[in-house]
Structure formats: C-alpha cells, structure tokens
Amino acid sequence: MKPEPFPILLITNGNEQNRPALEYGVWLSSVLDAPVTLLGVIEHPQDARQVNQLVEETAQMVRKADLQLDIQVEEGRALIVVPRSAVEGGFLTVTGPLGRPAWQRVIQGRSFRRLLERVCTPILYVRHGQRKLERMLVCLGGLEYSESLMQLCLHLASTVGANLTLLHVVEPVTLQYPVSKEVHEHWKHVQDTPTPQGTNLRRAYQLAREAGLNVEMKVRHGNPVHEIVEEVKQGGYDFTGMGSAYSTHSLRHMYMPNVTAEIAENINSPLLAVRQGYSLVSNS
C-alpha cells in the first residue's frame, strides 16, 4: 500500500536566511500533500517580532496551498527546541541557516552541524531557494545503513517523478581487509562484485527499477566529500540524499554529521540526511 504523507516540520528563528528553506518546505509539502507543523523559535526576546512575522507569512503560504497546518511558537535555543520537536512528531525537518554571527560559527561551528548531531529523524537542509525536484542524487555507502535513505528517496522520487542517480564512492584503501581490497581492485564495477557493497548496490538499483523510476548507477573513486561535491556540480542535480552510519562499525566516517555538513555547505541544492533505522510512515 502507498504510504500516508509523512509530516513536515518547518522552522524559523526569525532570521531572513530562513526564507529559502521555508519557501521550499511549503512547496515540497504541497507536492507531497503533507501536513505541516510550523515552529517558530524565539531565542531572544528582541527576536519575537521577526519570528512571529515569518511564522505568519509562511502560514499564509501553507493555507494558500490548502495543507493541514499546526503552528507552534516556543522560547528557547533552536538547537534544543528543534531536535525535541522533530523527535516528538516524527517529522522530516526542513531547515536552512539560522543566521549565526561569524564569530559564533568560528568558535562553535555552523548550526547545521549541531542539528545533524541532535536530530535523529530526517533533516533537509536548504540554503538557496528553488522549487523543483527533477534530478535526485542518492549517495550510497554500499552497506545496509543506506536502506533508510533509499526508502525515503524512493518515496520522494516516485511521488514527483524524478530521475534517480545512485552514487557510490570507493575510498582509497587504508586497511588491508579482504573485502576492502576486492572493492578497491574492482571499484569501477563494484556493483557487480559479491561483496556486501555490491549486493546492497544491486538491491538499491533493483528497488528503484521496481518502483518504475528512471535510474542509473555511478561509481567514483577518491575522497567522499570531494567526489560527491564534484558529482553534484557536474551532474546538475537539484536534490542530494545522504545516509548516516550511526551504530555501524564500517566506513562510519563517510557519513558522520561533519562530513555531511561539509557537502551541504559546498553545494547549492537541498541536502537530505537520513539516519540508520529511520522508517517511513507505516503502510497502515
């Protein structure tokens, strides 16, 4: 059975840099016919007016799209309020830059990096405004932790009719394990090898074909961050999906939050991060 629309959480702390993510989130919600929760976070009393203004402007867009809407306004730090709300509602959270001052970004890092660490449900980072979802790039580590990402991306691609590209990056071998050596030696055709990576890549490709999607497989060799960023720029993708290897023991450094954030901060298209173990709304 077709999954019911999953809920989407749109957030704002009143900063103007929130606008692209809010607009994209409303557009995506309308495409998916998904219910929207709009969360305004007042981090400082002087920000209340800006928060309420952006909340009301976004609410008008949601109402115009005739979507189910719930509005929440809370006081507190976004890095505490947002993760709590995301988990409680089981949301796909759409966020953009929170507009932190330069000195704070230097000392503490960008807010998106810390949101990735704390939000265990899917999170979609939008830096620049756009309203299309035609070419999707799904970055697969080749191991089972990519299954949650694949599940959600298949649902999105099937709903909007997007073309799907599956990308696997083979890193240079640093440890001489038999499997890693085989993957490295046959990296151009890793999807054809009997390795766990090859098995899972073939399965992902087959799932996409069974969903009726136009899908292709690409394999690159080198540093994952560099190769993924280059593929996004060269391929002209308008959406990138990344998996997270939390709680696994192999290649976990490829998809830890800081690496995902590096990619998100170096591409213009929206980036979706999905942790291992996430499951789309049940087919009840």
Which among 131, 127, 130, 124 has a CA at the least distance from the CA of 160? 131
**Inter-axis angle of helices 224-235 and 257-264, nearest 10:** 30
For residues 85 and 118, the answer to whether their CB atoms sit within 8 Å is no
Q: What is the pLDDT of residue 106?
A: 44
| Domains of the chain as residue ranges with CATH | 8-125 (3.40.50.620), 135-275 (3.40.50.620)
pTM for the model stands at: 0.85
Low-confidence ranges of the chain (pLDDT < 50): 1, 103, 105-107, 175, 177-179, 186, 245-257, 281-284
Q: What is the pLDDT of residue 246?
A: 46
Backbone angle region of 58, left / alpha / beta, with phi > 0 → left and psi within -120 to 50 → alpha: alpha
| Rounded percentage of the chain residues whose pLDDT exceeds 70 | 78
Q: What is the pLDDT of residue 217?
A: 92
Residue entry with tokens 């998100």: 264
Q: Which residues pair with 123 in a beta bridge?
A: 93, 273
- DSSP code at position 65: T
Mean pLDDT of the chain: 83
CA distance linking residue 77 with residue 44, whole number of Å: 9
Q: What is the pLDDT of residue 25?
A: 97
Q: What is the pLDDT of residue 129?
A: 76
Cα angle, residue 27 at apex, residues 22 and 32 outer, rounded to 5°: 125
Q: What is the pLDDT of residue 201?
A: 86
Q: What is the pLDDT of residue 32?
A: 92
**pLDDT tens digits for range 31-72:** 999 999 999 999 999 999 999 999 999 999 999 999 999 999
Q: What is the pLDDT of residue 147?
A: 80
